[in-house]
Amino acid sequence: MAGTKLPVVQTAGLCKTFKDFWRRPRVDAVKDLSMEIHAGEVFGLLGPNGSGKTTTIKMLLGLLYPTHGRISLFGKPPTDVSVKARIGFLPEESYLYRFLSARETLDFFGRLFRLPKKIREDRTTRLLDMVGLSHEADRPVGEFSKGMARRIGLAQALINDPEFLILDEPTSGLDPIGARQIKDVIRSLGQKGKTILLSSHVLSDVEDVCDNVAILYGGQEQAVGSIDDLLCQQNVTQITMPTISDKTIREVKDLILRLEKTNADVTHPRHKLEDFFLQIVSQAQATEVKTSGARAGGEVPEFLKTATTTVMVDLVGSLVAAGTTPEPLVVSAMPKISKKKSDSTSGVLNELLGKEPVEDDAPDEPSASLNSDAPVAPTKPTIAADSQVIDSLLQGENKESDDTASSEPNA
């Protein structure tokens, strides 16, 4: 909870070595992992397959015991029953009882949290509505598709209105609607001040919702920091604006070439495929096409919402709004922008926007370029990056950026 001084999660020198039948060490799944997750953070645990993400989560939940090292959740060991009352967990697969219906499943887990009957029933109804399975509430979960089962898995993770939510590959097996919905729920819970640990190798999911990430590889932490710090390309500038005429574009490019001695790419940005897909589905839903599968989810239940922020997860509404917004124009210029040059850059921008230059009194900040050999000033959270690993992990993302930015290699 916000205001708690202790980190929600704290690990120190955490190791997990899997042993063979003869107790001989076989695989070091996690090696010397020390991390902290503070209240209110949406923390992403990233890494390729077999990097130790799930093993770390299982140790946090007390499903595996560490070989060495220490874990504390809310200042207590993970096996402490009182800690578990504050946690919600969505595993990588939906491990549900096939013979229970969706409603019975939520009721069963609600009982394990000792929720009073009235609250249990209320939350069950609301969560089923949220995950779009109200109409299938009394069908056995064993008959559900993988995606529908994942939705019930999410609902059971939220039945206790957890302070700390652990989501292991939350969008795995979900259609884009479900994936978006989970991300919306994460955002909503993050706004409420809940702490969330998200493990995924779907980088866009993590990028969309996380404040901070840790990247694991070979069971070791390779990088940790905020998304902005890790992903910001200090050597590329992007200007976004509503559509402008070809003439203005030519003038802008000329201006940039003249002042910065570099070419600029000017393109129209593309929608994400996810947004486009959701738009099509929402149109189909508007025409009431029948389906036995999951429907668009309802709102995030009131008990999961913050008191000050009402987050509507009305996908249709948001998509329609997205569809009517004028497409912005993106101008990208690749060369590394030094502090000295940035003055002239801002002058260009002011010229473009028809404004007077504004004096920037802000102190100079060191570049956080991942490729820079220069020492990086410690910020919070710190960046401790293995550039090769990050490059390999973010290859797809960078590729996309490169496509829209410039064909020039990074400085």
Partner 1 sequence: MMQVWTIARQMIAEGIRMKIALVFFVLIAAIVFGLPFSVTGDSSLTGAVQSFMSYSLMATGLLLGVLTIFMCRSLSDEFVHHQMFLVVTKPVARWQIILGKWLGMSLFNATFLLFSGASMYGMVHYIKWTHPPQDEVYDEQELNNEVLVARHTRSRDMSIPNFPALAEAEYQRDLEQGKYEQQPNFNPRQQRRSLEKKYEARWRVIGPYETREFFFKNILCDRSPDKEIQIRYKADVAGYEKDEIYRAIWRVGDKEKGAEAYELHVRHVIDRFHTMRVPANAVADDHTLKVTVVNVNPFEGEQQKGNVLNIRKSDGIQVLFIVGSFEWNLIRLLSMMMFKLMFLGAVGLMMATVFSYPVACLTSFTVYMLAGTRSFLEEALDFMTDRNGSMFSSASEFAIQSIAYLYNMVQWVIPSFSRYDAVEDFVNGRNVSLVWVLSALGELVIIKTVVILGLAIFFFYRREVAEVSV
Q: Which residues contact 239 (CB under 8 A, 6 or more apart)?
A: 330, 331, 332, 349, 352
Is 111 a binder of partner 1 (CB under 8 A)? yes
Tokens of 101: 């219906």
Q: How far apart are CA 204 and CA 208, in angstroms?
A: 6
From 68-76, 94-102, 124-132, 248-256, span contacting partner 1 (CB under 8 A): 94-102
Is 18 a binder of partner 1 (CB under 8 A)? yes
Q: Minimal CA–CA distance to 331: which of 256, 263, 257, 265?
A: 265
Indicate the residue among 55 and 406 with the shorter CB distance to partner 1: 55
Of the candidates 5, 114, 290, 380, which one interacts with partner 1 according to CB under 8 A?
A: 114
Q: How far apart are CA 250 and CA 246, in angstroms?
A: 6
Is 100 a binder of partner 1 (CB under 8 A)? yes
How far apart are CB 40 and partner 1 at their closest, in Å? 22
User: Judging by beta carbons within 10 Å of its beta carbon (0-12, 13-18, 19+), is residue 402 exposed, middle or buried?
Assistant: middle
Of the candidates 6, 15, 36, 108, which one interacts with partner 1 according to CB under 8 A?
A: 108
Tokens of 360: 């920037």
Is 277 a binder of partner 1 (CB under 8 A)? no
Q: How far apart are CA 396 and CA 402, in angstroms?
A: 10
Q: How far is CA 366 from the centre of its chain?
A: 27
Is 11 a binder of partner 1 (CB under 8 A)? no
Q: Minimal CA–CA distance to 88: which of 121, 139, 123, 36?
A: 123
Which of the residues 147 through 166 are near partner 1 (CB under 8 A)?
156
What is the CB neighbour count within 10 angstroms for residue 410? 17
- Number of residues in contact with partner 1 under rule CB under 8 A: 35
Which of the residues 74 through 93 are near partner 1 (CB under 8 A)?
81-82, 84-85, 87, 89, 91, 93
Partners of 10 in the β-ladder = 36, 72
How far apart are CB 87 and partner 1 at their closest, in Å? 7
Which of the residues 21 through 60 are near partner 1 (CB under 8 A)?
27, 29, 50, 52, 54-55, 58
- The dihedral built from the CA positions of residue 262, 265, 266 and 272, taken in this order, carries a sign that is negative
Is 64 a binder of partner 1 (CB under 8 A)? yes
Indicate the residue among 88 and 301 with the shorter CB distance to partner 1: 88
Site residues, partner 1 (CB under 8 A): 18, 27, 29, 50, 52, 54-55, 58, 61-65, 81-82, 84-85, 87, 89, 91, 93, 95-97, 99-100, 104, 108-109, 111-114, 140, 156
